[in-house]
């Protein structure tokens, strides 16, 4: 697959207008998660999917993040896990802040993992689930988490391909911080609670550094996706392949936690946006109308 050349200054200006209007209504959205939205570009005749990371303080901080992404791509390659073709670009604005964009070919939504499972007849397992379990077992390690939720995968009938790389769960050796500047993500929240959120989010990321935790999260997200009939088959497949002890109770507890957390997180972001815009300052993130837990 080839990548078209994109002027990310144009993309940034386009998104800046949407941020100021507080609306995604006029954007060519392909989808959104809890961290970022995915746009089709160009808007009139889209050929690429672009994902925007909130601005870093400068090019050096952005480059550190890009280097971590590159290392994650290498980790997947070495683990023989397919990755969707992705180019990572740094756009330095006139204010010297650096915005990172991920550029990918537009994927076939029918191949999106959650859609594949939704269309599949119920069975004891599914080859996509088996492939994700094997990938998690090979990729997860004490300083690298793996977000295995179905919406992050494409399945063409033979190969499971990882799709989402905007927030690599790469931790320092002592596992108490990200390996890139977390300020880019924390700036979306009120200043007074950032230290607390940084600690909480880092603790949450540690969930993903073990295959059992990453896959339990995957199953919890299946509940969010309306795939409850696949929960028991997925749990059984995970335990069979990993020799783990994932249970419906653990999955439900994780789902209930995230269902409460994520809407609260979005409310905090919206409060920060209100405060900044009403004091003549700039909010830097394009927020979805609601979290995926409201849909």
Would you place residue 262 in the very low, low, confident or very high pLDDT band (cuts 50, 70, 90)? Answer: confident
| C-alpha span between 293 and 34 (Å, rounded) | 9
Give the range among 122-136, 212-226, 254-268 with minimum mean pLDDT. 254-268
Q: What is the pLDDT of residues 95-145, one digit of tens each?
A: 999 999 999 999 999 999 999 999 999 999 999 999 999 999 999 999 999
The predicted pLDDT at position 12 comes to: 92
The predicted pLDDT at position 5 comes to: 84
Burial 30-44 (b: 16+ CB within 10 A, else e): bbbbeebbbbbbbee
The predicted pLDDT at position 33 comes to: 66
- Distances in whole angstroms, Cα of residue 165 to Cα of each of 90, 196, 200, 246: 15, 25, 21, 26
C-alpha radius of gyration, the chain, whole number: 19
| C-alpha span between 293 and 4 (Å, rounded) | 34
Mean pLDDT across 179-196: 91
Backbone angles phi, psi at 147, to 5 degrees: -85, 100
Closest CA to 53 of 6, 100, 20, 103: 100
Give the torsion through C-alpha atoms of 141, 208, 135, 32, to 10 deg. Answer: -140
Of residues 261 and 102, the one with the higher pLDDT is 102
What is the maximal distance between C-alpha atoms in the chain? 57
User: Contact at 8 Å (CB) between 258 and 207?
Assistant: no
- Angle at the Cα of 29 from the Cα atoms of 2 and 144, rounded to 5 degrees: 70
Mean pLDDT across 179-185: 91
The predicted pLDDT at position 293 comes to: 67
Of residues 205 and 33, the one with the higher pLDDT is 205
């Amino acid at each position: 697959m080839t990548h078209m050349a994109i002027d990310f200054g144009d993309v940034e200006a386009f998104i800046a207008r949407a941020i100021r209007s507080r609306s995604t209504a006029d954007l060519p959205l392909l989808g959104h998660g809890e961290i970022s939205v995915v746009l089709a570009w160009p808007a009139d005749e889209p050929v690429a999917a672009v994902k925007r990371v909130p601005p870093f303080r400068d090019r050096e901080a952005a480059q550190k993040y890009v280097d971590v992404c590159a290392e994650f791509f290498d980790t997947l390659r070495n683990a023989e896990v397919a990755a969707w073709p992705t180019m990572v670009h740094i756009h330095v604005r006139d204010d010297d802040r650096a915005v990172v964009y991920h550029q990918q070919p537009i994927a076939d939504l029918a191949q999106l993992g959650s859609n594949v499972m939704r269309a599949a007849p119920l069975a004891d397992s599914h080859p996509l689930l088996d492939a994700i379990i094997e990938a998690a077992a090979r990729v997860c390690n004490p300083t690298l988490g793996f977000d295995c939720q179905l919406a992050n995968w494409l399945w063409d009938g033979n190969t499971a391909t990882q799709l989402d790389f905007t927030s690599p769960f790469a931790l320092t050796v002592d596992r108490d911080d990200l390996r890139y500047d977390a300020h880019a993500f924390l700036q979306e929240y009120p200043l007074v609670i950032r230290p607390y959120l940084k600690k909480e989010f880092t603790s949450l990321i540690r969930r993903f550094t073990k295959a059992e935790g990453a896959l339990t999260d995957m199953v919890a997200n299946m509940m969010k996706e309306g795939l409850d009939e696949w929960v028991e088959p997925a749990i059984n497949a995970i335990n069979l392949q990993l020799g783990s002890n994932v249970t419906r109770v653990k999955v439900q507890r994780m789902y209930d936690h995230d269902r409460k957390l994520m809407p609260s997180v979005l409310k905090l972001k919206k409060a920060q946006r209100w405060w900044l815009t009403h004091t003549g300052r700039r909010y830097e993130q394009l927020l979805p109308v609601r979290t995926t837990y409201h849909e």
